[in-house]
Amino acid sequence: MIIGSWNVNSIKVRLDQVISLLEKYSLDLLAIQETKVKTENFPYGVFEKLGYEVYHQGGKGKNGVAIISKLKAKEVKKGFEGLEERGDFPDAKERILGIKLSFSELSELWFFSCYIPNGSPVNSDYYFYKLQFLWQLKEYLETYFSKDTPLILSGDFNVAPSEIDVYEPTLLEGSICFTEKERKVFLNLLEFGLKDALRVRYPEKRGLFTWWDYQFSAFEKNLGMRLDHILITSSLIARLEEVWIDRQFRALKKPSDHAPILAKFKI
């Protein structure tokens, strides 16, 4: 099974690129973030003609998460539904989407597409909303899943977890997506029982980024950050074969500022 996650920064602009990614790897699952269309305006038919099931929760011209799947979902979860605090996170359904799947070798697998708030500027109300959102995400997982549940949490988390996940940690320390508070709350999320799939395979490798600013020739100079992650529960570690970032999609004309991250599992 090959899965992917990609912040496309507008499905309308990047539709052909998404189709190319699906076809390049014959993806079984693709999590998409920042679709920037309302739920009903997503191009469902385009993907259905390719043989995929499509799930999408959108917003008013911003946010939006989708899952493209070869298998039909047994169950769908949207936002933080079911938690009493859900009213404190009005855009949660535009940012969290999960589906339950069943395979011949695995009776249950949950796959999520997540788009965590950016939080800029640092120390603003939006910044603290981001931190609270990540705390809430952990509580949500603890409420509805166990550490033994085969679960993949993928998406744009807008956090670079460690110094090796940014091009220049001394320069970027304190910048949005690389503050101490953000890193701590991300590590707290992992304490649910999640492992960073890329770091399982490449624990110390530097220069593996998923986001580059559109300005300053950042991509050409590899001045990036690793903000997009595939997080897995321990039951999937033995099934994990490979994890990689496809930089070719960031090098296209009119690219997203993110590159897709992909993983292959023995399923």
Residues with a known catalytic role = 115, 156
Asked if residue 113 lies in contact with residue 157, where contact means CB atoms within 8 angstroms, the answer is: no
Strands (E), the chain: 2-7, 29-33, 53-57, 65-69, 75-78, 96-101, 109-115, 151-156, 194-196, 211-212, 224-225, 228-233, 240-245, 261-265
* 28: its two tokens: 């079984």
Asked if residue 8 lies in contact with residue 33, where contact means CB atoms within 8 angstroms, the answer is: yes
Asked if residue 9 lies in contact with residue 36, where contact means CB atoms within 8 angstroms, the answer is: yes
Question: What is the rounded CA–CA span in Å between residue 186 and residue 157?
Answer: 8
Amino acid, res. 220: E
* 205: its two tokens: 């490798």
Asked if residue 71 lies in contact with residue 101, where contact means CB atoms within 8 angstroms, the answer is: yes
Burial label, 72 (beta-carbon count in 10 A; 0-12, 13-18, 19+): exposed
Closest CA to 244 of 37, 55, 27: 27
Number of neighbours of residue 248 by Cβ within 10 angstroms = 13
